[in-house]
Amino acid sequence: MLAEDKKCDKGFKEMGTCCCNCVNQMKLFKHPWNSNYGKGSIKDQMGFICKAGFPEDGVTDEAYYFEKQHGMCENWQEK
């Protein structure tokens, strides 16, 4: 169970778990060499990725993009 200071009320409320306090969440930034979407300064954040993957399906080298910092999935692991 999460320490009180790490809980988030925007994810799965009963446990206090959320993408924002999951070890699998990373910030995603833009790059000037991108052509359209994602083009910009490497200092500009454009969203988040989840690098959890699905090892039981043999998928461990993929990440999933999402716009919001908060949410919940079945692969959540405490930061």
The reported pLDDT for the residue numbered 77 is 85
The reported pLDDT for the residue numbered 20 is 92
Residue 13 in any domain: the answer is no
Q: Which domain holds residue 55?
A: 23-71
Domain total for the chain?
1
The reported pLDDT for the residue numbered 78 is 86
The reported pLDDT for the residue numbered 40 is 96
Instruction: Please give the average pLDDT of every successive group of 10 residues along the chain, which has 79 residues.
Output: 69 77 94 94 96 72 89 83
User: Residue by residue, what is the 3-state secondary structure of the chain?
Assistant: CCCHHHCCCCCECCCCECHHHECCEEEEECECCCCCCCECCCCCEEEEEECCCEHHHCECCCCEEECCCCCCCCCCCEC
Residue 66 in any domain: the answer is yes
The reported pLDDT for the residue numbered 4 is 61
**Total-model pTM:** 0.78
